[in-house]
């Protein structure tokens, strides 16, 4: 049994090992560096679905892929990012005179924009008739060039073959009409080891056909450079008449002008004149000329008047710089006029590296400040993320456009990027020189949530709150006034009905008693009791009517109204009334004053009816944020046993709670009674106080301020 289990266990382990090995083989096959190679395009069949475009206008035509755009840095890519050692070849035709077109290997991290990828490029440039081999890493790092025998002509087919073996790169170019060829080789220490293949053009359209990629080794590298070296020689193929006519204007001298980027490789002590060819991108405040490799500042130029877009040939003394070069004492020859070249779209962080010095670029930023150091110049201080920079613009037709620019607006600007301290003053990494205000586009106004707008919102809300408080106060005032008017109407009704009826009943009872004989003394007594009851009820009705018709508290004041109420209640009696008012008198809202009046009225009535006092005191005290009302008597008092408090006391307590006041009764047998109400008041210049004053002002009624 043990042997059987051991055999099964070893069998299981063996199956597991085989499965793991097969999985590793499958994984390695899927992820091998050469998977997908060799590759051949399907342009002839009318398909290019596997290619990814980054800029340009790519379309299939006659079995080839064509880009008609003069965009600076249009790319079309395919393949695997795991491809390492391979060759890429294609037939290439340029469609313009001022750019280049070629092949890309080991590409990764691609984006739309000039040199916005990491990889290697080899192409033909007809501005200086050179075969270019160099590297890009979201910016053009460097290049090696070699002159193509017979020159690089547009509308002619060339065969390009580019190899990438470890960190060695080689390219060959063969003129398919003349058969002449040339090659270039480059080695990097820290190279990009793998990446995709692609097609690229710069400032020129192009056509590509027969694109092929295959795995390669060092033997392929050696055979490429050796076979092309044997082909190098003068071109013997005749040019047709049209091509000669096109080329006659291009050649400014017997030697080809060199590329602008090549000026940086010259020695600083070498002052021999050099010649470059390019397009004018800026004339003021300095002259800048740009070709497909970069830009150069021209100092003290001598030649005809120029405008932006002119194609010129400049011969002058070079002065290499860290990022770009300067040509001094330059002679300028105007070749022809053409359309201005489009700007390179970059970010402020890319411009701050200096890689685009003396280049016509386009970028965006938010306006932080505007300065006008001279009458004709405006300096825009801008911010793009964490990067700050400046733009200098000639106000040209006037300063209306500058005046209309608002702080924090998002702007898109087109101008020449310069890192010269003469312009930056070491305050910003670069400055943008704008040809005119026409090169500034306002993409968006300033954000709405600015400090000024927030203050305006807060002020508007405060005004709305004040208006709402005024309306609410007036509504509450009108509602209370309606209640008071209704009470007055009820008082009139009671006076005209109940009180007069009591008077009539008493008169009739007195008449009946007078007409009865003296012998019916028991009836006389009953009539006297009924007459007294009617008189007492009449007095109570008059008192109730008096409470329903108080004098206007707003006109006479709370203390005067309570004093008048107390006098009416003790009229004809022996009770003395003492009133006192202390503190800083101030307006009391009508709702609070009416409630205090009703509580004080009930307290006075209870003292007169039940306490049998000889002295009644009414005290009104104004404090900082409260008003206190106290009604005291020296009557018989009572003890609070819970069930002795009647309807009147419960009513006073409810009224106090309605205005958030505290209500207190202090009493003892033989010691009198004190009723105290402590009501809160709004701040001295509270909303309601202001609302009342605004209301009176709108009504035209003068109102004095109170302390």
pLDDT in tens, 369-400: 998 888 778 899 999 989 999 999 887 655 67
- 702: tokens are 């003068």
549 has a pLDDT exceeding 60:
no
Look at residue 695 in the predicted model and tell me its pLDDT. Answer: 52
Residue 330, H or E segment:
strand 325-337
282 has a pLDDT exceeding 80:
yes
Across 604-626, average pLDDT: 89
pLDDT in tens, 330-351: 999 998 877 788 898 899 999 9
Nearest in space to 285 (alpha carbons), one of 403, 424, 437, 416: 416
Picking from 193-197, 337-341, 596-600, which range would have the lowest pLDDT averaged per residue?
Answer: 337-341
- 466: tokens are 């004040």
Sequence-distant contacts of 660-665: CB under 8 A, at least 24 apart: 661/592, 661/595, 663/599, 665/640
Average pLDDT across the chain, whole number:
82
Which CATH code of 2.40.50.140, 2.40.30.10, 3.40.50.300, 3.40.50.10540 fits the domain covering 261-337?
2.40.50.140
pLDDT in tens, 415-437: 999 998 989 988 999 999 998 88
H/E/C letters for each residue in 519-573?
Answer: CCHHHHHHHHHHHHHHHHHHHHHHHHHHHHCCCCHHHHCHHHHHHHHHHHHCCCC
**pLDDT over 70, % of the chain:** 83
CA separation for the pair 551, 567 (Å, rounded) = 13
Q: What angle do CA 318, 324, 325 make, to 5 degrees?
A: 10
Q: Which positions ≥6 away from 403 have C-beta within 8 Å? A: none
507 has a pLDDT exceeding 80:
no
CA separation for the pair 475, 487 (Å, rounded) = 18
Question: Is 324 within 8 Å of 290 (Cβ atoms)?
Answer: no
CA separation for the pair 290, 297 (Å, rounded) = 9
Task: Report CA torsion sign: 577, 613, 652, 686.
Answer: positive
Across 449-466, average pLDDT: 86
Across 227-236, average pLDDT: 45
- 701: tokens are 């009624």
- Most confident of the following: 13-17, 180-184, 257-261, 602-606: 180-184
Question: Is 381 within 8 Å of 393 (Cβ atoms)?
Answer: no
**Residue 401's pLDDT band (cuts 50, 70, 90):** confident
Look at residue 33 in the predicted model and tell me its pLDDT. Answer: 54
- 44: tokens are 């002839």
- 448: tokens are 């709405």
Question: Residue 225 to residues 123, 149, 157, 173, 216: CA-CA distances in angstroms?
Answer: 16, 16, 20, 11, 14
Using the structure block, give the residue that is written with the tokens 């008059």: 542
Phi then psi for 161, rounded to 5 degrees?
-135, 125
SS3 (DSSP) at 482: helix
The residues facing 380 across adjacent strands are 370, 391
Common-topology check for domains 344-444 and 557-707: no
Percent of the chain that is helix, strand, coil (3-state, to 5): 35, 35, 35
Using the structure block, give the residue that is written with the tokens 């793991």: 20
pLDDT in tens, 633-654: 998 888 766 555 667 788 889 9
Question: Residue 287 to residues 299, 332, 342, 380, 500: CA-CA distances in angstroms?
Answer: 7, 11, 17, 21, 111
Phi then psi for 139, rounded to 5 degrees?
155, 145
484 has a pLDDT exceeding 80:
no
pLDDT in tens, 523-533: 778 877 787 77
Burial 345-382 (b: 16+ CB within 10 A, else e): bbbbebbbebbbbbbbbbbbbbbeebeeeeeeebbbbb
Question: Is 581 within 8 Å of 647 (Cβ atoms)?
Answer: no
Question: Residue 280 to residues 290, 321, 406, 701: CA-CA distances in angstroms?
Answer: 6, 20, 31, 77
Question: Residue 438 to residues 87, 415, 443, 560: CA-CA distances in angstroms?
Answer: 47, 11, 13, 79
Look at residue 388 in the predicted model and tell me its pLDDT. Answer: 94
Q: Within a 13 Å sphere around the CA of 436, how many CA atoms are in the beta-carbon half?
A: 7
CA separation for the pair 416, 412 (Å, rounded) = 13
Nearest in space to 405 (alpha carbons), one of 375, 452, 444, 348: 444
Does the global pTM surpass 0.85? no
- State the CATH architecture for 344-444: Beta Barrel (2.40)
Look at residue 292 in the predicted model and tell me its pLDDT. Answer: 80
pLDDT in tens, 676-691: 999 998 876 444 455 5
**Residue 245's pLDDT band (cuts 50, 70, 90):** very low
227 has a pLDDT exceeding 80:
no
Which CATH code of 2.60.120.560, 3.40.50.720, 3.30.1360.120, 1.20.59.10 fits the domain covering 39-248?
2.60.120.560
What DSSP string describes 241-265?
A: HHHHHHHHTT--SSSPPBPSGGGGG
498 has a pLDDT exceeding 80:
no
Picking from 136-150, 246-260, 294-308, 609-623, which range would have the lowest pLDDT averaged per residue?
Answer: 246-260
238 has a pLDDT exceeding 50:
no
Q: What angle do CA 291, 296, 302 make, to 5 degrees?
A: 105
Look at residue 509 in the predicted model and tell me its pLDDT. Answer: 75
- 542: tokens are 């008059």
Q: What angle do CA 121, 123, 127 make, to 5 degrees?
A: 130
Question: Residue 686 to residues 115, 596, 613, 683, 692: CA-CA distances in angstroms?
Answer: 67, 20, 41, 5, 10
Look at residue 663 in the predicted model and tell me its pLDDT. Answer: 93
234 has a pLDDT exceeding 60:
no
Look at residue 251 in the predicted model and tell me its pLDDT. Answer: 34
Of residues 311 and 496, more confidently modeled: 311
Phi then psi for 240, rounded to 5 degrees?
-75, 170
Picking from 19-33, 79-93, 504-518, which range would have the lowest pLDDT averaged per residue?
Answer: 19-33
**Residue 584's pLDDT band (cuts 50, 70, 90):** confident
Decide yes or no: CATH 3.30.565.10 for domain 557-707: yes
**pLDDT over 90, % of the chain:** 36
551 has a pLDDT exceeding 70:
no
Look at residue 115 in the predicted model and tell me its pLDDT. Answer: 85
Look at residue 248 in the predicted model and tell me its pLDDT. Answer: 33
Task: Report CA torsion sign: 643, 646, 651, 652.
Answer: negative
Give the domain ranges of the chain: 39-248, 261-337, 344-444, 448-549, 557-707
Look at residue 233 in the predicted model and tell me its pLDDT. Answer: 41
């Amino acid at each position: 049994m043990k042997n059987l289990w051991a055999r099964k266990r070893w069998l299981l382990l063996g199956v597991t090992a085989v499965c793991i090995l097969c999985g590793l083989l499958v994984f390695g096959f899927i992820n091998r560096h050469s998977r997908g190679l060799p590759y051949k395009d399907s342009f002839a069949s009318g398909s290019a679905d596997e290619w990814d475009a980054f800029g340009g206008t790519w379309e299939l035509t006659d079995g080839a892929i064509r880009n008609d755009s003069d965009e600076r840095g249009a790319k079309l890519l395919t393949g695997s990012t795991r491809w390492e050692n391979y060759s890429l070849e294609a037939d290439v035709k340029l469609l313009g005179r001022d750019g280049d077109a070629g092949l890309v290997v080991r590409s990764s991290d691609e984006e739309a924009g000039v040199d916005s990828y990491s990889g290697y490029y080899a192409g033909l440039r007809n501005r200086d008739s050179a075969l270019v081999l160099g590297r890009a890493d979201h910016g053009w790092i460097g290049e090696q060039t070699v002159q193509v025998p017979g020159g690089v002509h547009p509308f002619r087919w060339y065969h390009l073959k580019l190899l990438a073996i470890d960190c060695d790169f080689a390219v060959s170019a063969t003129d398919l009409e003349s058969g002449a060829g040339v090659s270039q080789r480059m080695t990097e220490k820290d190279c990009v080891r793998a990446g995709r293949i692609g097609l690229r053009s710069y400032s020129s359209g192009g056509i590509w056909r027969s694109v092929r990629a295959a795995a390669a080794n060092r033997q392929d590298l050696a055979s490429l450079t050796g076979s092309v070296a044997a082909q190098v020689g003068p071109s013997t193929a005749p040019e047709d008449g049209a091509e000669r006519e096109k080329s006659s204007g291009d050649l400014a001298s017997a030697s080809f002008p060199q590329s602008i980027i090549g000026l940086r490789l010259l020695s600083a002590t070498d002052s021999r004149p050099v010649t470059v060819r390019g397009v004018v991108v800026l004339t003021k405040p300095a002259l800048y000329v740009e070709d497909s490799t970069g830009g150069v500042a021209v100092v003290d130029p001598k030649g005809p008047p120029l405008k932006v877009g002119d194609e010129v040939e400049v011969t002058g003394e070079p002065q290499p710089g860290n990022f770009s070069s300067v040509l001094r004492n330059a002679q300028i020859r105007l070749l022809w006029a053409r359309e201005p070249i489009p700007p390179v779209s970059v970010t402020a962080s890319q411009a701050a590296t200096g890689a685009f010095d003396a280049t016509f670029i386009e970028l965006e930023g938010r306006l932080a400040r505007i300065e006008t150091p001279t009458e004709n110049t405006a300096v825009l201080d801008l911010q793009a993320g964490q990067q700050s920079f400046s733009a200098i613009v000639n106000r040209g037709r006037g300063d209306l456009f500058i005046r209309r620019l608002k702080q924090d607006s998002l702007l898109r600007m087109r101008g020449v990027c310069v890192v010269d301290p003469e312009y930056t003053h070491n305050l910003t990494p670069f400055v943008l020189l704008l040809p005119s205000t026409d090169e500034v586009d306002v993409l968006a106004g300033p954000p709405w949530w600015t400090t000024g707008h927030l203050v305006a919102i807060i002020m508007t809300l405060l005004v709305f709150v004040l208006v709402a408080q005024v309306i609410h106060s007036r509504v509450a005032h009108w509602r209370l006034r309606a209640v008071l008017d209704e009470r007055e109407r009820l008082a009139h009704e009671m006076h005209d009905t109940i009180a007069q009826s009591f008077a009539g009943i008493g008169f009739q009872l007195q008449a009946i008693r007078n007409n009865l004989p003296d012998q019916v003394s028991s009836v006389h007594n009953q009539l006297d009791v009924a007459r007294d009851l009617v008189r007492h009820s009449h007095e109570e009705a008059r008192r109730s009517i008096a409470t329903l018709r108080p004098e206007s508290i707003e006109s006479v004041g709370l203390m005067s109204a309570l004093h008048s109420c107390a006098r009416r209640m003790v009229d004809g009696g022996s009770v003395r009334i003492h009133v006192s008012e202390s503190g800083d008198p101030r307006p009391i809202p009508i709702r609070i004053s009416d409630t205090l009046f009703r509580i004080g009225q009930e307290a006075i009535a209870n003292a007169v009816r039940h306490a049998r006092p000889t002295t009644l005191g009414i005290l009104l005290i104004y404090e900082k944020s409260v008003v206190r009302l106290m009604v005291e008597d020296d009557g018989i008092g009572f003890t609070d046993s819970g069930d002795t408090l009647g309807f009147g006391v419960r009513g006073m307590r409810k009224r106090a709670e309605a205005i958030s006041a505290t209500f207190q009764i202090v009493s003892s047998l033989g010691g009198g009674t004190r009723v105290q109400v402590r009501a809160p008041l709004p701040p001295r210049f509270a909303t309601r106080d202001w609302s009342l004053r605004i209301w009176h002002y709108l009504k035209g009624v003068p109102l004095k301020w109170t302390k």
